[in-house]
Chain A
């Protein structure tokens, strides 16, 4: 089995994919409105704002109010996109999202940048490693974590077409932009690399790391299958089950706490359908800290080297 090579033309942040996607949506769909809690530049919402000032709502530093206003704006047919950091998009406003958006089934798109640990130097007050768990527990909430600029741009379009509350999670660091030719469909995983020895299921910034890990493993004679799960809920059970039936073991890779994240969702699917050895590349029930993104990914075991180590470990656990 050969190794498929993914090329990228540039390194660019996922949040810029959101900004471009939102600006395109603003031109294409007059019902799209955007709300921001004083982080317009950080969320890359400037282009939308400049092109459609009447549909851009600067809420101020008041995230709870922003979520409520977004819920209300759906009444009358608007499609609100809220923008702030992931921490302030979820934990800070959990009850507003729960009651006014999720339970009320409002068509709000909660768009969250600076997710995970890679926002770096600001430290743990601004990093969040619990948001996937918080959001996936809400009935009816769709949860998406994109891996590069192009996937984020496509996801931004896709969630406007999807009726219902969505949590779209992306980030700050520049990542290889490699999914230009790949399709994006909510709820459908992407088989990036075929392999027979171990399945690497990755989301967000760790997708590129998983591809890099597959290269290293390949040199060691290990054929890793790499699957990108961008939609954590609803989860594409079929693509995961099909793969592990072939490989017999799996490593889940995410920039999130191992409690509540993608890995746990995979573990549930496997436990119910096809018990399989699994290893978790994720943070280990800890807060983050200040540092550069790459230093933090090293320290917290969220990179290709860590994935390789876990893959070797889980292969050894195969019966």
Chain B
């Protein structure tokens, strides 16, 4: 469990990794990645119990599934900075013969990844399956997930949400990256999500809102509250109110950087706003 100071130090470094990775290959998804840096840092450095001696089965440890696979840069950076694979490997992101595919996959056997994601809406079902197996194995550890808010437009999520509520999957903590943006614009413009809290509660979920979704302390207390709520016959959702592009001023509060890489000049500005704390890859 890392100290708050260590977490604060890691955050700008992960942002730098994200910016440099997508810039290098002029592709990838910086917006959502930047918006979830604090969440990933909190989860992997402070909350989750896991071994970096990676096994696919992940018995007797907490599991994490990324459903919105396009924010792979923040996932890869956090995994590398948490010891799953060498930080230097971040330089191979999206390149030929890399384990760091554009979207996460088990196919290239990158430690830390247990399912392919990218085609949206599938992660919650997978996480429910893993949670069911934990119950069968009398494994009391938890299953965490992250989903985009726009991703909830995929119908499979609602099959999964209905199942998890009805079948009392109470070892599942699903976080929604509630940045209210998607590729084509705001979620309100594309297809309004309505009252997400009410919808999830109606499906039998315990809902926790983290209004300051880019504040490490607020995220940790939200995750701790979720852990405390586990094992009580209800799946748990965290509505994590984040700012897309957080930490790079010109990328914030807009969908424009959902899937666009910065140019050289923009990279320099972004890096200047996030000091190198732990050494660039």
Q: Which of A62-70, A111-119, A253-261 binds B?
A: A62-70
A75 touching B117, Cβ below 8 Å: no
A287 at the interface (CB under 8 A from B): no
Size range of the chain B interface in the assembly = 35 or more
B128 touching A69, Cβ below 8 Å: yes
Question: Residue B163 contacts which of A62, A67, A105 (CB distance < 8 angstroms)?
Answer: A62
A55 touching B136, Cβ below 8 Å: yes
Q: Which of A71, A74, A98, A104: most chain B Cβ within 10 A?
A: A104
Q: Which of A132-167 contact B (CB under 8 A)?
A: none
Q: Which of A60, A67, A68, A74: most chain B Cβ within 10 A?
A: A68
- Determine the distance from Cα of A66 to Cα of B119 in the docked complex, in whole angstroms: 16
Q: Which of B198-238 contact A (CB under 8 A)?
A: none
Q: Which residue of B lies closest to A61 (CB)?
A: B159
A76 touching B137, Cβ below 8 Å: yes
Residues in A with CB closer than 8 Å to B122 are 64, 68, 95-96, 99-100
Known A76-B58, A77-B133, A100-B122; contact A65-B107, beta-carbon cutoff 8 A: no
B160 at the interface (CB under 8 A from A): yes
B116 touching A69, Cβ below 8 Å: no
Question: Residue A73 contacts which of B118, B132, B159 (CB distance < 8 angstroms)?
Answer: B132
Interface string of B117-128 (1 = CB under 8 A from A): 111001111111
A68 touching B131, Cβ below 8 Å: no
- Determine the distance from Cα of A13 to Cα of B166 in the docked complex, in whole angstroms: 34
A54 at the interface (CB under 8 A from B): yes
B264 at the interface (CB under 8 A from A): no
Known A62-B162, A68-B160, A104-B106; contact A75-B133, beta-carbon cutoff 8 A: yes
A33 touching B136, Cβ below 8 Å: yes
Residues in A with CB closer than 8 Å to B117 are 99
Q: A interface, by DSSP: helix, strand, loop or mixed?
A: helix
B139 touching A76, Cβ below 8 Å: yes
B78 at the interface (CB under 8 A from A): no
B156 at the interface (CB under 8 A from A): yes
Question: Residue B130 contacts which of A59, A72, A104 (CB distance < 8 angstroms)?
Answer: A72
Q: How far is the CB of B199 from chain A (nearest CB, A)?
A: 17
- Determine the distance from Cα of A54 to Cα of B167 in the docked complex, in whole angstroms: 12
Q: How many A-B Cβ pairs are below 8 Å?
A: 116
A64 touching B159, Cβ below 8 Å: yes
Residues in A with CB closer than 8 Å to B105 are 103-104
A178 at the interface (CB under 8 A from B): no
B63 touching A75, Cβ below 8 Å: yes
Q: How far is the CB of B52 from chain A (nearest CB, A)?
A: 17
Question: Residue B129 contacts which of A62, A69, A103 (CB distance < 8 angstroms)?
Answer: A69
B106 touching A105, Cβ below 8 Å: yes
- Determine the distance from Cα of A9 to Cα of B202 in the docked complex, in whole angstroms: 55
Residues in B with CB closer than 8 Å to A95 are 119, 122
- Determine the distance from Cα of A59 to Cα of B132 in the docked complex, in whole angstroms: 12
Residues in B with CB closer than 8 Å to A75 are 56-58, 63, 114-115, 126, 129-130, 133
Known A33-B136, A72-B125, A104-B105; contact A64-B156, beta-carbon cutoff 8 A: yes
Residues in A with CB closer than 8 Å to B107 are 103-105
B134 at the interface (CB under 8 A from A): yes
A69 touching B56, Cβ below 8 Å: no
Q: How far is the CB of B99 from chain A (nearest CB, A)?
A: 14
Interface string of B171-212 (1 = CB under 8 A from A): 000000000000000000000000000000000000000000
Q: How far is the CB of B222 from chain A (nearest CB, A)?
A: 24
Q: Which residue of B lies closest to A106 (CB)?
A: B115
Q: Which residue of A lies closest to B137 (CB)?
A: A76
Interface string of A67-100 (1 = CB under 8 A from B): 1111111111110100000000000000110111
Residues in B with CB closer than 8 Å to A103 are 105-107, 116
Q: How far is the CB of B167 from chain A (nearest CB, A)?
A: 8
- Determine the distance from Cα of A104 to Cα of B122 in the docked complex, in whole angstroms: 12
Q: Which residue of A lies closest to B69 (CB)?
A: A99
Known A54-B136, A75-B56; contact A104-B129, beta-carbon cutoff 8 A: no
Q: Which of A67, A76, A96, A98: most chain B Cβ within 10 A?
A: A76
- Determine the distance from Cα of A100 to Cα of B128 in the docked complex, in whole angstroms: 13
Known A62-B162, A76-B139; contact A68-B125, beta-carbon cutoff 8 A: yes
Interface string of A31-72 (1 = CB under 8 A from B): 001000000000000000000001101011010111111111
Q: How far is the CB of B233 from chain A (nearest CB, A)?
A: 17
- Determine the distance from Cα of A80 to Cα of B129 in the docked complex, in whole angstroms: 10
What are 17 A-to-B residue pairs whose CB atoms are below 8 Å? A33-B136, A60-B163, A62-B159, A62-B162, A64-B159, A66-B125, A68-B126, A69-B126, A69-B160, A74-B129, A75-B56, A75-B133, A76-B57, A76-B58, A76-B139, A78-B133, A103-B107
Closest 7 CB pairs of A and B: A72-B129, A68-B125, A76-B133, A65-B159, A62-B159, A69-B129, A72-B126
Which residues in B have some Cβ–Cβ distance to A below 8 Å? 56-59, 63, 65, 105-107, 114-119, 122-134, 136-137, 139, 155-156, 159-160, 162-163
